[in-house]
Amino acid sequence: MKRTITIILAAVLLGGVVGYAAARHPFTDVSPGAYYADAVQWAWEQGITNGTDATHFSPDKPCTRAQVMTYLWRAAGSPER
């Protein structure tokens, strides 16, 4: 279930990265050829995620419900209501 949520979140975020190009993210565990690399790049640059530490994103680690909600809230512009 958690892996499914992670994949769904990546797909949602991927919708905002088509044609998006900028500086490379700092995550050593996200290869440029990974299917989710562009989504990670966009989410990092938009401040939606910071990774699990300064150099790791941990793409195989499951997301909690709280993390998913935080990502979606930040992607929506951090609305107050």
C-alpha 42/C-alpha 80 separation (Å) is 23
The pLDDT of residue 3 is 62
Q: What residue type is assigned to position 17 of the chain?
A: V
- List pLDDT tens digits, range 31-76: 999 999 999 999 999 999 989 999 999 999 999 999 999 999 999 9
